[in-house]
Structure 1
Amino acid sequence: MSDTSSRLRIVWIYPDLLSTYGDRGNVLILRRRAELRGIPTETIHVHSSDRVPVEGDIYLIGGGEDRPQILAAERLRADGGLKRAAERGAAILAICAGYQIIGESYGDDADNPLPGLGILDIRSGRGTSRAVGEIVADVDPGLGVGRITGFENHQGRTALGPSARPFSTTVRGVGNDGATEGAYQGQVIGTYLHGPALPRNPALADLLLRMRVGDIPPLQRSWGDALHEERLAAVL
C-alpha cells in the first residue's frame, strides 16, 4: 500500500463523466473484498474539477459517451496525476472509454485520432459495426484470473503496441478485435467489460488487490461467485 497511508487508497476517477454503465459497482466490490480480509480502505472520489492525487493504490476509471470521454481525456492529460500515479506503480483498471483514453490515441465520434494519456501502449479507433452483448474471455494464464464475463457496448477497435499484452482471449463477443479482449502492461489493465466487471468477476478484483497488497487469503464462496457462474452458463 501507499507509503503515506495505512489504508488501501481506492481512487475513483471522474464519476461525473465516466460512470455511464454502473461502473461504480467496481468501487464497491473492490472495497468490500479488501475489507472482508481485514484490509482497511479509503475511497477517494475525484470529479472532473478536482486534481488527481498521485498517492493512491488502485485507480478505477469507467465508461462514458463520446463527448464526456473527450473532455475526460483532455482534463486528465492536463492534470498529469494519473500518469504520475502509474509511474509510481499504482494499479489501474480502466473500462471501455477509460480503457481507450489511457492509451496512446483514440478516435472521436468521426474517428479522428485524439491523443490519450500514454499510460498503456494501445491505439483505438472506430469499427464498422457496434459490439453489443455478452462477452466471455480467457485471461492470460499468468495473471491467475481464469475466465471472465461481462457486457460490451462500444464501437471501438483497439490495437496493441509491443509493450502491452492482450489481457484475455475472446471466447464470445468482440472485445478489441474479435480475437482478444483488453490489454495490460505492468499493473495497468484496460478492458471493454461492463456488467460491472468486478461484481461479475471476483477473481479480477482479487488480482488488483494482490498487485498492491501481495498475497491475500481466499474468501468463502459468495453471491459474486454464483453470479459469475450463472453468467457464464447463460452465455455459453
Structure 2
Amino acid sequence: MLKVCHLYPDLLNLYGDKGNVIAFLQRCRWRQIPVELVEVNVGEPVNFHDIDFLFLGGGSDREQNLMAADLLARKDSLVEAINQGLVVLAICGGYQMLGQYYLTTDGQRIPGLGILDHYTKAGNARLIGNVIIDMKIGAETIKVVGFENHSGQTFIGNMEPLGKVITGYGNNGQDGLEGVRHKNVFGSYLHGPLLPKNSKLTDLFIKLSLERRGIKQDLLPLEDRFEDQAVKVMVDRHIK
C-alpha cells in the first residue's frame, strides 16, 4: 500500500495543484497498485515515516503565512523521512519554503525551512506564461510542460535543477534552470497542474515511492496517447 499525503490542501491549491495528487492516485489505481490518500491541515497529526509521496502546493502569501509555523514544527520529522527516501513534490510557494530564506523587496529576510540550499528573492515583475523544460530521467531526456506565475526569483547554487528551460522563465529568468532535485525531493514553479500533463514524470514519482517500500519493478505501461499528444501540441506551439 502506497501512502500519499497532501499537506494543507485547504490553503495551498493554486491553479489546480490538487490535480497532481489526483494524477498520482489514478495512475496507481489503473495499475492495481494499492494507494491511500491522507489530507493533513494545520494542526492535524501526520507521521512522515508512514508516507511515501508528499505533495506541497502553492498559495498566496496569506495562506503560506498561515501554515509556515505549523510546517516548521514538523521540520525534524520531515527531514528524517527525506533522508530515508520520502518522495516530495513541492510547487511554487511550497518549493520556496523548503529553501533557506525569502528576501523581500524591502530587504526583509523571511526564514525558510532550510531543508534545501536554495534561496528566493522578490523580483519587480511577475514571471508568467507557459514553460517547457528538458528533464533527464535516467538516460532519457524528456520534455516537461507547465505554467508559471511567480514574482520570486529562486537560485539553487550547485544543486541539481529539475530541468533546463527551453521556453519560459524557470527559477529566475536568468540562469536557464527550472526547479530543483535533491535526493527524492523535487521543487518546481510549474503549475497547471504539473503531473496530469506529464505522465512520465508522474510515473517517476510512483516508481520512487515503490522503491521507498522496497519494491523495485517496471511499471505496467498505460495508454498515454492523449497525454503525449497534449505535450506535443505545447512543444510544437512554442518551439519552432
TM-score (norm 2): 0.88
Partner of 1:24: 18
* Residues 1:211 and 2:208 are matched in the alignment: yes
* Alignment of structure 1 residues 27-42 onto 2, 5 Å: 27-42=21-36
- Judged with a 3 Å threshold, the aligned counterparts in structure 2 of structure 1 residues 141 and 57 are, in CA distance, closer, same or farther, namely closer
- Large movers: runs of 4+ above 4 Å: 108-111
- Unmatched segments (≥5 aa) in structure 1: 1-6
Q: What is the aligned counterpart of 2:91 among 86, 92, 95?
A: 95
Partner of 1:195: 192
- Judged with a 3 Å threshold, the aligned counterparts in structure 2 of structure 1 residues 96 and 32 are, in CA distance, closer, same or farther, namely same
Partner of 2:126: 130
Distance 1:143 1:125 in 2: 34
SS of the aligned residue for 1:17 comes to coil
Q: CA deviation at 1:110?
A: 4.9
- Give the count of matched residue pairs: 229
Q: What is the aligned counterpart of 1:183 among 169, 180, 183?
A: 180
- Judged with a 3 Å threshold, the aligned counterparts in structure 2 of structure 1 residues 143 and 95 are, in CA distance, closer, same or farther, namely farther
SS of the aligned residue for 2:192 comes to coil
SS of the aligned residue for 1:74 comes to helix
Partner of 2:231: 228
Q: Percent identity?
A: 38
On the 8 A contact 1:120/1:184 being kept in 2, the answer is no
Distance 1:193 1:85 in 2: 24
Partner of 2:2: 8
TM-score (norm 1): 0.90
Distance 1:199 1:102 in 2: 23
Distance 1:50 1:204 in 2: 29
Q: CA deviation at 1:235?
A: 2.8
Distance 2:31 2:136 in 1: 25
- Equivalent residue letter for 2:20: N
- Judged with a 3 Å threshold, the aligned counterparts in structure 2 of structure 1 residues 39 and 156 are, in CA distance, closer, same or farther, namely same
* Residues 1:65 and 2:60 are matched in the alignment: yes
Distance 2:63 2:106 in 1: 15
On the 8 A contact 2:100/2:115 being kept in 1, the answer is yes
Partner of 2:168: 173
